[in-house]
Structure formats: structure tokens, C-alpha cells
Structure 1
Amino acid sequence: MTNEAMEDPGISSRERDTRFMENSCCTHFCLGPNPFIARYVYAILFLLASLLAWAIRDYGRSAISAFRRLKACHGARYCLGAEGVLRISFGCFLFFFVMFLSTAGTKKLDDRRNSWHSEWWPAKIIMWMGFMVVPFFIPTAFIQLYGKIAYLGAGAFLLIQLVSVISFITWLNDYCRSKKNVKTCRIQVLVLSIAAYVASILGIVLMYVWYAPKPTYRLNILFITLTLVLLQFMTFVAVLSKVKEGFLSPGLMGLYVVFLCWSAIRSEPQTEIWNQKAQAAASADWLTIMSFVISVLAMVMATFSTGIDSKCFQFKKTEAESEDDVPYGYGFFHLVFAMGGMYFAMLFIGWNAHKTMQKWTIDVGWASTWVRIVNEWLATLVYGKY
């Protein structure tokens, strides 16, 4: 409320209080539908589900074994932990899939579904808690079936995330090279392009030093060398006379594929890692815990950023946006989080429901390694199509 309104003697105290509530931060951000705040609340619920799945995998084995129906778990000795992860994942998937069905197609802020998406938190929190509990009373056979479906859902999530990243890189490149910004962004583009290439080459060199110090480490040498070839290939294609994309787009994309290669090699089982530094770091509990926490937060942030980027999947031009349009696609947002629930399950079980995962580990195993490598190759292919 303005100072003039506060000092106006003609305004009653009740009217003054009403104006204060209308202009307060609480009214704008806490009361009423607020899709901007809502998306962070959903991200927190997703994070809580991820942490609950991890806690059950590492510390809830004795509690899970109390359920007689879970004793029929087949496979490795500690498959109960993996099955617990799948049950939490299934509950998370159900919650966000219900939200997807109930909010898909929402376009205007005055739609009732906007209120359901952005309000009704007590009801939705109770619903979320219920979905976290109900899967533990579902027969094991169905959970095993869900685990197989989760492979497809997690793969679809990686593909959507990949398209989102490439779309952002392409948009940034087009924005900087547009007639309006080409002069003002010239220095920034040059600095960012050089930094991206330097970081990419430095990353490749460090991977050679850390993960392929000897010629006998053939698989890692193959992965790293192929990444270097892909980096050069993307640069060559981007600077062709017909394309004229410049160096910013391939530089950022090269940095991304180097990161994917590093993630793939880091996902190799600790018994197979040929880097002496990595083996020494594995014995440091604080470093393992820190790496785990960063990986979980990165996974949540990737899901969040992908979920609000529905525009990159619009195949036809839409009408100009108006003030009463929703700020992002609610249905797409919840669908991404639903598939993200499948994705975090695969990370916690190493893409293998019958594999023993050590405590405080995430996305470790040969299956995880090959998923990352294929994702890297697919990233290059999709980028070439853009």
C-alpha cells in the first residue's frame, strides 16, 4: 500500500487493511493460484520421493522384509532394496500421472484446472502420501512388470531432456546471431565459444589422463576418442557454408557430449574403474556422500528445467501469448515428472533390478554406462537434425 493511502484520513481502518492485504506479498505469492510457486512445490515433492526411495534402498531393507508379499522377490540377495525403489517410483509416477490427466490442455489462468494445479495443497499432499504407501500392498509380480515399463519411461525422459538441452542451445545461438543482437553479443559469443571449446578439450585430456592412462584400457580409450571425433564432426558441420551456425552452438554441444562421456565412464562399476584416483576417492566417505547429493540435486533440477520447457516440443506455431495464458504447459510439466519418477528408479538401481547397489551410490553399473554412451551418440544425431 502506498504512503499516500496510509496517510489519507478519509480511508477507514477496514478499507486500509483490505488494501494492505491486496498489495501484500503474501496475497500475491502465497494466496490464490500461483503457478510459479506451484512448480517449486512439485519439485520438492519429487525430491522427497527420490530421497525416500534412496532411504528404503539403503536402510529400509529390514522394514520391507516385514511384508510377506515382498519375500517372493527374485534375483540377487538384496533385491528387496531395488523393489522398494520401484514401489516408491511407482507411487511417484501415479501421483504425477494423475496430475497430468487432470491438468492437460489447460491454457488460460481462469480455467478451474489452473486452480487445481496451483492450489489445493493439503489435498494433494495427502494424495501424494497415499501414493507413497499404496504401492507397498501391490503384488510383486506387478511391480516387476512396472520395473520393465520403467526402462521405457526413463529412456523417454532422457530423450525429452536431450531435445530440451539442444533446443536451448539452438535458441541461444539464434538469439545471439539475430540481426538485433549480433553486434551487441559479438564479444560475449566469442568468449563463450572459446571457453566451451577449451573446457571440452580440457575435459577430454583429463579423461585420457584419469581413465585411460595405459593402452590396455581400450574401452575407455574408445569412448573418449569417439567423443573427440564427435566434437570435431559437430564443429565441421556447423561451420559449413550452407549452415553457418558459427562456433557457439557446436561448442556448447561439444561440452554437453563431453559431460555425457564423463558421466558414462564414472558410471562404470568401481571394481572395473581403471583410474587410481577414482578408486582412492571411492574410499573417502565424505566424497562419496557429496557426489551422491550433487547427483540427486542435479537429477531434480534436470527434471524441473525440462518440465517447464514445453515450447520446444510444439510442432506448429501458436498464436501470440496473452496475459491470461498459463506460463508453461501444466500437462507436459506433470508428464515429465511422471517419467522422471521412472528415471530416478533406474538411477538408484543402476538400470538393473537384480543388481546389488552399494550405499550412497547412484547410477553405477555397466548398464548405466551404456545408457549414457548411447545417449551421447543420440545427442549428436539429434543435434545434426536440428
Structure 2
Amino acid sequence: MNVAAAAVGATVINIGSSNSQFVQQVKASVEPNNVDCSEERKKSLRARYFYGIIFLITNLIAWFIRDYGQSVFPPIYYEKACGIGGSDCFHTLGVLRVSLGCFIFFFFMFLTTFSTTKLYQACSKWHSGWWALKFVLLAVSMVVPFFLPPEFIQIYGEVARIGAGIFLLLQLISVIEFIRWWNKHWARDEQSKQSCSVALFTSTVFYVASICGIGSMYYFYARKLSCSLNIFFITWTAILLLVMMAMSLHSKVNRGLLSSGIMAAYVIFLCWSAIRSEPADEKCNIQKKKTGHDWTNILGFLIAIGAVVMATFSTGIDSKSFQFRKDEAKLDDDIRYNYGFFHMVFSLGAMYFAMLFISWNLGNSARKWSIDVGWTSTWVKIINEWFAASIYMWKLIAPVVKQPKVINHEDSTRQNNHSPSP
């Protein structure tokens, strides 16, 4: 019996040791994959910033071509394209050519990465690496449009207007979804007094800022009755603010003041930006732009370019706002943002910054150190503001409108019982 017990014990020890070795082998085979996924994930997240830097560089190149391109390119080049004295045409075509090159690069990246779902796929490695080859591709994409005929560039300019409008729509949806997320984050714990107090304080700050913004716009841009258009813009914006606040506080909606306060501040910012885009010689703008290029104009121009880059970057990584199903769990080897959507937004952003630099007008060019100035830019921003308010208000009432009508069976039974029998 002792011998049999010893044999059984030895067998158990051997089995246990073999199992432990098997487990160690499994761990050894799994851990490198986890390390690879983690490393690929870091490369993927870092790649976003490299693409943002590329987009910023193309913005600066477009500005340089618009303002100082005639001193770099020989006169023969733009005289053949625009004729003698066609400097505005050259400025516009130069911006559109740079925009087309940026669009070609990011659209090619979209075509090569839109089907990527896993980190270990070849398309994912192409998105996150191969930077030397991609810089060569970028250089070729930027040079080729300068050899295309002006007629083709004009056609691209017409298409770019549509692409820029689509970009504004995507950016608007992203902003509204962010506001909804912010409101949901603060209102998640309704029992917490601290959460309620922070939400109330934040909404108060936004509403006070909105009221101050409306008062400032009346003071600076609508001091005379002759400024009827500015008075209309500001007054209608104030009406939209009151309507959004009333809808969010309605008993059937009951969204609180935080989301409507943030949206009100955003709408007022769009109105202010639209009025600021009016031509500098307008009498209703007491903050007239100077003919010189002082540090305030230069700083405002650089801030505007940074805002364009940040808007494009934030919209590009926000693919979740445009998904119909948002409850899918992420695995370790899944990509953390949609590569195809990211590059598509950047390609549309290339069209958008082109429209800003030429003020949405293919016939004339903006003056130096200016961006998005002119009546066309003003109306584009005003329409964007009204559209933003309309989408937000629809999102407020959509759950109430689409809510199915609940039939009270007890009431219907009582009505049937009390109804007179024939």
C-alpha cells in the first residue's frame, strides 16, 4: 500500500508539474501578444498628433502662399494662370492648390485605412508607421497640384465649398454630442449634492457669460438703429437662448440648465464670430481692423489657425458620435478610434481651411494676416448658428415626440363597463 501510495503521489506531482509547465507556456505565448498590442496601441495614439502637425504645416503653407507667394514664384507662373494684374486670382489659386494637396494625402490615407479594425492588421501598422514613405507621399501630393491647369483648380474650389459645409456639419454634431456627454456626466448622480451644486454653478457661469456676450455685442456692433442687420442677428440669438432654456426646463423634457447653458454660450460665440467676419469698413463695427499688421492681428490670426487645427483634430477622433451602435465592447486588439473616419475628417478639413483663407469666395482673396472675413463668411457662420440651435432643440424634443403612447387598460375597461348597452 505504501508503494502504491508513493506511485500515485509521484504521478500527481508529475501531472501537477506538467500542468504548471503548460500554464507557463501559455502565459509565455500570450504575454508577447499583449505587449505587442500595447505597443501598437501607443503608436496608434501617438500617430494622431503627427497627423495634426502635418495638417498645421499645410495650413501655414497655404497662408504663406496666399500672402507672400508672389515674392517666391516667378511672375511668369501666375501671369499665365491669372493674367497681368490677377494677384487675387493667384492668391486664391495658391490656397486651393495647397488645399488640394492636403486633401489628396488624407484621402489616400482614408482609402488605405477605412477597413481597419484590429491593431495587428497591416493597415493599422501603415497608419501608425512608415513615416518616411508618408512624408514622400505628402511632398508629392503637395507638388502635383501646382502643375494642374487653373480650370481644374476652380472646379476643386466649387467642390471644396460642399466639403467644407459637410465638415461644419460633422463638427456641429460632435460639439452637440460633447455637450450631451458633459451634461450626462454631471447629472449622473442625482442624489449627490456636490454633483448638483457643481452643475448648478457651471450652468450659472455659462448663462452669465451668455448674457454678458449679448450685451457686449449690442454695445460694440449695434449701437445705431441703422445697424439693423446686426440688431437682427443679436436679437434672434437672444431669442434662441430663451427658447432653448425654456425647452430644457419643460416638464416633459427635463434636461436641466447645464446643457442649454453650454449650448447658449456656443451659439453666442458663433454669432459674435459671424459679426466679426463682416468687412472692416462697416460703420456698425466700432472695433475696426487697422490697415497695418500689429501684434493683435497676428496673434488673432495664429489663434484662428490653431482653432481650425484643434476643431479638425477633435472631430476626427470623435467617431463614436456618428455610430448607430455604441454599446460594443472594446477588445485589447481593437483600434481605439476609427482610422478611416479620422482621415476623412482631415480631408474635409483641408477644404474647410481653404474656404477660410479665401473667405468662401473664389473670385477674391483676403488681405494679409486675415482669415474668414467677408459677407459670405458672415452668412455661413450665421446659418451654422441657426442650424446648431435647430439640431439641439430637435435633440431635446425628439425623445418626447418619438415616445410611444401608453394606453391605460384600466381606464379603457372602466369606459367599456360604463358605456350603455344597446
Does the TM-score normalized on the shorter chain lie above 0.5?
yes
Please tell me the residue identity of whatever aligns with 2:149.
P
Q: Residues of 1 paired with 2:41 and 2:318: CA distance?
A: 24
Residue ranges of structure 1 left out of the alignment (5+ in a row)? 1-26
TM-score normalised by L of structure 2: 0.81
For the aligned residue pairs, the C-alpha RMSD in angstroms reads: 2.2
Deviations 1:344-385 (CA, angstroms, capped at 9, x unpaired): 000000000111311000000000000000000000111122
Q: Residues of 1 paired with 2:239 and 2:390: CA distance?
A: 13
Residue ranges of structure 2 left out of the alignment (5+ in a row)? 1-35, 396-422
TM-score normalised by L of structure 1: 0.88
Q: CA deviation at 1:322?
A: 1.7
Please tell me the residue identity of whatever aligns with 2:212.
L
Q: Which residue of 2 aligns with 1:369?
A: 378
Q: CA deviation at 1:300?
A: 0.4
Q: 2:232 aligns with which of 206, 222, 232?
A: 222
Q: Which residue of 2 aligns with 1:331?
A: 340
1:316 aligns with 2:325: yes
1:289 aligned counterpart, secondary structure: helix
In structure 2, relative to structure 1, the CA distance for the partners of 1:32 and 1:378 (3 Å cut) is: closer
Q: CA deviation at 1:63?
A: 3.7
In structure 2, relative to structure 1, the CA distance for the partners of 1:102 and 1:31 (3 Å cut) is: closer
Q: Residues of 2 paired with 1:342 and 1:170: CA distance?
A: 28
Q: Which residue of 2 aligns with 1:349?
A: 358
Q: Which residue of 1 aligns with 2:303?
A: 294
Please tell me the residue identity of whatever aligns with 1:217.
C
Q: Which residue of 1 aligns with 2:132?
A: 122
With 143-152 and 180-189 compared, the bigger mean Cα shift is at 180-189
What are the equivalent positions in structure 2 for 1:1-386 lying under 5 Å apart? 34-64=43-73, 66=75, 68=77, 71-73=80-82, 77-179=87-189, 183-272=193-282, 274-276=284-286, 278-279=287-288, 283=292, 285-386=294-395
Q: Residues of 1 paired with 2:134 and 2:58: CA distance?
A: 14
With 233-242 and 319-328 compared, the bigger mean Cα shift is at 319-328
Deviations 1:154-193 (CA, angstroms, capped at 9, x unpaired): 0000000000000000111122222478544212101110
In structure 2, relative to structure 1, the CA distance for the partners of 1:29 and 1:327 (3 Å cut) is: closer
Q: Residues of 1 paired with 2:37 and 2:74: CA distance?
A: 47
In structure 2, relative to structure 1, the CA distance for the partners of 1:384 and 1:76 (3 Å cut) is: farther
Q: Residues of 2 paired with 1:364 and 1:105: CA distance?
A: 39
Q: Residues of 2 paired with 1:113 and 1:273: CA distance?
A: 55
Q: Which residue of 2 aligns with 1:22?
A: none
Judge conservation of contact 2:304–2:371 (CA < 8 Å) in 1.
Answer: yes
Deviations 1:248-288 (CA, angstroms, capped at 9, x unpaired): 00000000000000110011110125222x11656561111
Q: Residues of 1 paired with 2:166 and 2:40: CA distance?
A: 36
Q: CA deviation at 1:323?
A: 2.0
2:288 aligned counterpart, secondary structure: helix
Judge conservation of contact 2:88–2:365 (CA < 8 Å) in 1.
Answer: yes
Q: CA deviation at 1:67?
A: 5.6
Q: CA deviation at 1:73?
A: 3.0
Judge conservation of contact 1:227–1:261 (CA < 8 Å) in 2.
Answer: yes
Please tell me the residue identity of whatever aligns with 1:165.
V
Please tell me the residue identity of whatever aligns with 1:344.
F
In structure 2, relative to structure 1, the CA distance for the partners of 1:171 and 1:182 (3 Å cut) is: farther
With 190-199 and 71-80 compared, the bigger mean Cα shift is at 71-80
In structure 2, relative to structure 1, the CA distance for the partners of 1:261 and 1:32 (3 Å cut) is: closer
Judge conservation of contact 1:33–1:115 (CA < 8 Å) in 2.
Answer: no
Q: Residues of 2 paired with 1:114 and 1:182: CA distance?
A: 43
Deviations 1:20-63 (CA, angstroms, capped at 9, x unpaired): xxxxxxx9999996111100000000000000000000000244
Q: Which residue of 2 aligns with 1:11?
A: none
Q: How many residues align?
A: 360
